[in-house]
A = this chain, B = another copy of it.
Amino acid sequence: MKTSIGAKTLLFPTPVLMIGTYDQDGKPNLMNAAWGGICNSQPPSVGVSLRKATYSHGCIIARKAFTVGIACEARMTEADYIGMASGRNGNKFDATGLTPVRSELVDAPYAQEFPLVLECRLLHVFELGLHTQFIGEIVDVKADSDVLGDDGLPEILKIRPLIYDTGHKGYYGVGEFLGQAFSVGKALVS
Contact partner, A40, options B14, B133, B169, B174, Cβ 8 Å: B133
Q: Of A19-27, A55-63, A72-80, which stretch is located at the interface?
A: A72-80
For A, the interface residue count at a CB cutoff of 8 angstroms equals 106
**A153 and B168: CB pair below 8 A?**
yes
**B181 and A11: CB pair below 8 A?**
no
**A116 and B10: CB pair below 8 A?**
yes
A164 lies within 8 A of chain B by Cβ? yes
Contact partner, A8, options B7, B15, B141, B145, Cβ 8 Å: B141
Contact flags A136-173 to B (C-beta < 8 A → 1, else 0): 01111111110011001111100101111111111111
Binding site for B on A (CB under 8 A): 2-15, 17, 34-47, 49, 51, 68, 70, 73, 76-85, 95-96, 101, 112, 116-118, 124, 126, 128-131, 133, 135, 137-145, 148-149, 152-156, 159, 161-190
